[in-house]
């Protein structure tokens, strides 16, 4: 028997629930969740049957413990009218920012992962959300589900661009949006480009001055496109004209 050197650390032994206590013995007639498997069925040729049930039919128990149910579940009542959970599977999802952050406390630095996600169906509905967790995948999942609960409907002219030019300021970020003709494309900041793609805006140009912080740019874009646009109905009501006259004057409508 090999003798252990003085001062050497003892080897660690993996402990199994139900077997790590002295004086206890696992009942061999029962199936242990970690040590055993269900008996495999074989056919006449000795091949394994693919229909043999698994020990965990859906997912290991640890997955349910690690989930944050409040951030994973999206209630259909919180979605805009006419949308269901099946519609959310077809949405475009863009992770604009994924970075590592640290929270300085008296116990030291506590690292975590931060994610900023934008989702949209490409037909005038989009939303953004933030998520923070110890793992990247879970942070992105939290941000995606929060974005699903914060969907906003956007007005588009001819289903491709904005109705008019917009100048908007959000804190230290200044953005100018310009309506463009068909075929112009999206020529703008890369964050705004991804947001417009999720919304379904195909022709637009934008310029950002001041702070280019991703969160400020995203919030300024959503705020400007959802609140700062004046529709033909609003302009006609304010000028005392018909909607047809406003569309002919401002948008070159033929009728």
Specify the pLDDT at position 125.
Answer: 92
The rounded distance, in Å, linking the Cα atoms of 49 and 53 is: 10
Structure tokens at 192: 């705004």
Per-residue pLDDT of the chain (255 residues), as tens digits, is 556 566 655 555 555 555 555 555 556 666 555 555 555 556 666 665 555 554 444 444 444 444 444 455 666 666 665 677 788 888 999 999 999 999 898 888 989 999 999 999 999 999 999 999 999 999 999 999 899 888 999 999 889 999 999 999 999 999 999 999 999 999 999 999 999 999 999 999 999 999 999 999 999 999 999 988 888 888 888 888 888 887 777 776 554
DSSP state of 77: G
Q: Where are the alpha helices (DSSP H) in 82-206?
A: 85-88, 136-148, 190-199
Report the topology of domain 166-229.
Ribosomal Protein S5; domain 2 (3.30.230)
In terms of Cα–Cα distance, which of 207, 95, 196 is closest to 142?
95
* Residue 56 DSSP code: S
Q: Which helix (H) or strand (E) holds 173?
A: strand 173-179
Q: Which alpha helices (H) appear in the chain, and where do they start and end?
A: 61-66, 69-72, 85-88, 136-148, 190-199, 214-227, 232-239, 243-251
User: What is the phi-psi region of residue 200: left when phi exceeds 0, alpha when psi lies from -120 to 50, beta otherwise?
Assistant: left
The Cα 242–Cα 213 span in angstroms is 42
- The CATH architecture of the domain made up of 85-153 is 2-Layer Sandwich (3.30)
* Predicted structure pTM score: 0.67
Closest by CA to 126, choosing from 231, 228, 221, 229, is 221
Structure token pair of residue 125: 């509905």
The domain limits of the chain are: 85-153, 166-229
- The Cα–Cα gap between 149 and 169 comes to 25
- pLDDT for residue 139: 93
d(CA 187, CA 41) in angstroms, rounded, equals 61
């Amino acid at each position: 028997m090999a003798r252990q050197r003085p001062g050497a650390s003892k080897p660690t032994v993996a402990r199994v629930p139900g077997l790590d206590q002295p004086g206890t013995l696992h009942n061999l007639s029962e199936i242990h969740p970690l040590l055993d498997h269900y008996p495999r069925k074989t056919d006449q040729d000795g091949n394994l049957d693919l229909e043999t049930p698994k020990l965990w039919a859906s997912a290991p128990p640890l997955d349910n413990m690690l989930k944050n149910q409040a951030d994973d579940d999206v209630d259909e009542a919180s979605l805009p009218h006419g949308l269901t959970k099946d519609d959310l599977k077809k949405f475009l999802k863009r992770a604009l920012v994924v970075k590592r952050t640290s929270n300085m406390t008296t116990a030291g630095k506590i690292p975590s992962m931060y994610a900023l996600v934008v989702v949209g169906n490409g037909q005038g509905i989009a939303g953004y959300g933030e998520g923070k967790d110890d793992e990247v995948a879970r942070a992105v999942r939290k941000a995606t589900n929060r974005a699903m609960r914060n969907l906003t409907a956007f007005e588009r002219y001819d289903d491709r661009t904005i109705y008019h030019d917009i100048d908007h300021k959000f804190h230290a970020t200044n953005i100018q949006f310009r309506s463009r003709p068909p075929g112009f494309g999206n020529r703008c900041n890369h964050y705004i480009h991804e947001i417009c793609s999720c919304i379904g805006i195909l022709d637009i140009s934008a310029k950002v001055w001041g702070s280019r912080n991703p969160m400020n740019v995203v919030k300024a874009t959503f705020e400007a496109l959802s609140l700062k646009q004046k529709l033909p109905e609003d302009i006609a009501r304010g000028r005392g004209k018909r909607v047809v006259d406003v569309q002919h004057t401002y948008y070159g409508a033929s009728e």
